[in-house]
A and B are shown apart, each in its own frame.
Chain A
């Protein structure tokens, strides 16, 4: 398969990526809309539904189908016409922003005593860390299909702090934790994508600049991306963050 450079990253040609997520997908979708013309052979399809409504889904005939009208409408709008996720149609499935953040995931893993728990349990304990991720990850574990990736929701952004005190240490620690989490995630049968290190101010906080004019998926599925609102909660990131997320995602998929 041919590869080409996109910015400093290579992506596979003619690759089809399915992104399934919640409100956090908004910034990635917006970044993708800006970029997709420059990546002509990569197709990204988004299936997003706000907050826990992504849980209103089930597996039928190897596909993920919405169980409620509102989730169905969300899927139809965010995917631009599809109400069912058929993993077989894609090369990669990315479960984006579901569950707790990178920093919180690290904390859960650190709290697990070695040699006490089975590796299967640790994987579920660390990644199926809230009701949404428990549901969605279990759903995709039950379907055979392309490789599935977990991309965590962003850490909460700092209000004012935009630079880590020690970037070298943060980079090293982040890489260490990413390596551990990747190994654990593999026990679920999934790949793991790290929150981009250059968006971090610490292992559990995001640089403040990525929260300025952050995007969230609107709660009204009719509006979906048209009504993306600025975020005051410091949980939703902006398009610049979305661009970093895309770069990291493409890099992970290429490996």
Chain B
């Protein structure tokens, strides 16, 4: 009772991180920390799986480098060199799904993997090769036959199902609200006619999903996941990577901010209402004003290695680990000099191909 009397307002008792000036305004950007306190313990020895938009690929790599038990349920055979494995999208995510940009695509993959819905048999034939509309860049030259493509799908669906049922931590990076759909009700990761296939306005339609649709997709996906695996924890992030192109009719910068805001709001809402869902603020770290865009590549779209390391340092710090990825941000970031290191760093991002149409 005595204490209460002495307090002028509730802000007085808040920690430093609740105030802009001491935790942000008066600090070097590199000294901004404690951005995230995970709500559940992050066990490096648990089974970690990662999926989502392009930025999620950085998380896979960083988790491995940080000594976390990142699980790859669809491995390349032993002895295959990393360049070849990556060209065929092995080891990019925990199964060879390719990028899963939207929450509804995630839900779609989960339904297919659990057998709740049948994966459509649509394939794109081009120059005698077969492309998978749901993983259009998964094979650099397409599949040799329809049967080969279907066999590959079965392998991936089985691997993805095991990611759902066996993992301890399911990390998903939300990327886009803009999506392309077939009249039969299923969704493509890329607009037909861009990376492959042929656009048909009578069958293909654009949808810029609103908050409710994004929320519904993710909530239903998480419900399916938890039904398959009661113990799994979900860690959400929002990709800080801007849109390559927009069909919304808005300027791409405005469309980007809109999409990311919706995604961020959905992630925040779900994080706030469940003890087994958390949100890791990689989007804020890369995009917020104190960092002055320094974590972007010169095209102001790709995230540079420095940014990835800053995000992952914060992740590891939040996990109670002593920054296993980089002890010193500046010391560890080396200039890109050779093609091989670029290929190791650069994420596989089909959406970037849209840039060719601009």
Contacts and interface: CB of A to CB of B under 8 A. Distances in A.
Interface in A93-140: 104, 107-108, 111-113, 115-121, 124-125, 128-131, 134
A120 B143 CA distance: 8
Given A108-B77, A111-B77, A119 B84 contact: no
A124 B151 contact: no
Contacts of A121: 76, 84, 88, 139
A113 B77 contact: yes
A134 B84 contact: yes
B83 to A, nearest CB: 5
The listed residue with most A CB atoms (<10 A of its CB), out of B78, B80, B143, B155, is: B80
A108 B88 CA distance: 17
Interface residues of B, number: 21
Contacts, number: 56
B80 A125 contact: yes
A186 B81 CA distance: 20
The listed residue with most B CB atoms (<10 A of its CB), out of A104, A118, A128, is: A118
Interface in B59-102: 76-81, 83-85, 87-88
A112 B77 contact: yes
Contact of B88 (A104, A111, A124, A130): A124
A139 to B, nearest CB: 12
Contacts of B198: none
Interface in A2-50: none
B299 interface: no
B141 interface: yes
Contacts of A118: 88, 139, 143-144, 148, 152
A107 B151 contact: no
A108 B79 contact: yes
The list of the 6 closest CB pairs from A to B, nearest first, reads A125-B80, A111-B77, A121-B88, A108-B79, A124-B84, A112-B77
Interface of B: 76-81, 83-85, 87-88, 139-141, 143-144, 148, 151-152, 155, 340
Interface of A: 104, 107-108, 111-113, 115-121, 124-125, 128-131, 134
12 contacts: A108-B77, A108-B80, A116-B151, A120-B144, A121-B88, A124-B84, A125-B79, A125-B85, A128-B81, A128-B83, A131-B81, A134-B84
